[in-house]
Amino acid sequence: MIRLEHVTKVYEQNRAVALEDVSVDIQKGEFVFLVGPSGSGKSSMLKLLTRELAPSQGRIWVAGKELNSLSSWKVPYLRRNIGNIFQDFKLLPNKTVYENVAFALEVIGRPKHVVSQQVPQILELVGLANKRNNLPHQLSGGEQQRVSIARAFVNRPLILLADEPTGNLDPQTSVGIMRLLDRINKTGTTVLMATHDQNIVNSMRRRVIEMEPGGRVIRDQARGVYGYGA
């Protein structure tokens, strides 16, 4: 599902090395934690997978497509296979919960009847059916993250990329979010989650890929623990 082969990413402006010779292979349906201190290249790796960044060296495959040779007009179609979740939710403040989720379908040209069928379904799944007409600022952080998960998953992507999704949430709320991601993973969706949340990693015992500053992978462990700094 995701495959990196000797991938190096050097930012051209400041010559900073984000990733160095990273090779990773993630199968369909896996749940993978990406851990490591700030500046170890976790976010860069996620951005490489959506072709927001291009690698300096090496090759990347995502959802069966070889990204190096993917023409730029095909990138949007690649991204329809990938859901994204962020620490800061990235919700549109002037749209309701329903509209925020519907927006993701509308802008990729899904017909109205599909939108009006799938959005309530996904809101049910994330437990926000009763808040569909609320604006983001009327919701708690955990609820906002659920909206953003609904938006990322409403198109049933093959892959879910999460960049510190619990970074702004308290531990109890974080557990709820992780349960939701776990449920989504059980539907066969591959989940790759960059995180600093030691408790979550240690309690879930999934595959852990650890990176160090300079962008090297120093550990790739099945059913791993958070490890570093502990």
Q: Which is nearer to another protein, 149 or 209 (CB)?
A: 149
Q: Least separation, in Å, of the C-beta of 117 and another protein?
A: 17
* Closer to another protein by Cβ: residue 20 or 163: 163
| Local structure of 40: helix, strand or coil | coil
Pair 204, 226: CB distance under 8 Å:
no
Cβ nearer to another protein, comparing 107 with 230: 107
Q: Shortest approach of another protein to residue 92 CB, angstroms?
A: 6
| Tokens coding 107 | 């802008």
- Classify strands 207-212 and 31-35 as parallel, antiparallel or unpaired: parallel
| Residue 108: CB minimum distance to another protein, A | 5
Q: Which is nearer to another protein, 50 or 68 (CB)?
A: 50
Distance CA 68, CA 76 (A): 15
Query: Residues near 5 by Cβ (< 8 Å), separated by ≥ 6?
Result: 23, 58, 59, 60
Name the residue nearer to another protein (CB basis): 28 or 90: 90
Q: Which two tokens stand for residue 105?
A: 């379908």
Contact present, 190 and 159 (Cβ < 8 Å): yes
CB of 93 to another protein, least distance (A): 8
* Distance (Å, whole) CA 27 – CA 3: 9
CB of 27 to another protein, least distance (A): 23
Backbone angles phi, psi at 196, to 5 degrees: -110, 5
Per CB under 8 A, residues contacting another protein are 50, 72-73, 76-82, 84, 90, 92-93, 103-104, 106-109, 111, 151, 155
